[in-house]
Amino acid sequence: MPYYVYAIHTDSNINRLYDSFVNFNDAENLEKEMKMGRSPGDNYVVQMIYAEDDVNVKRKISEFRKEHKLPPS
């Protein structure tokens, strides 16, 4: 399942997997839905990540955290 939709918390190293998909459109729809459900001040970002497997998605989340100066995972 190459498309993962995560909530990546900005004040801790918690990453919450919403779901994973084979189909890009399904993943994109969930990402949009979850982003619309956020409230101002929420401590997480919703991100769709393409990765070959669980190991690679965790590496990509670590890169995302470094780029956005979030706590390491």
Please give the chain's pLDDT, 73 residues, in tens.
Answer: 799 999 999 888 889 999 999 999 999 999 999 999 999 989 999 999 999 999 999 999 999 999 988 888 7
pTM reported for the whole predicted model: 0.90
- Distance CA(54)–CA(47), nearest Å, equals 15
- Cα four-point dihedral sign 28, 61, 55, 17: negative
CA 47-1-18 angle, 5° bins: 40
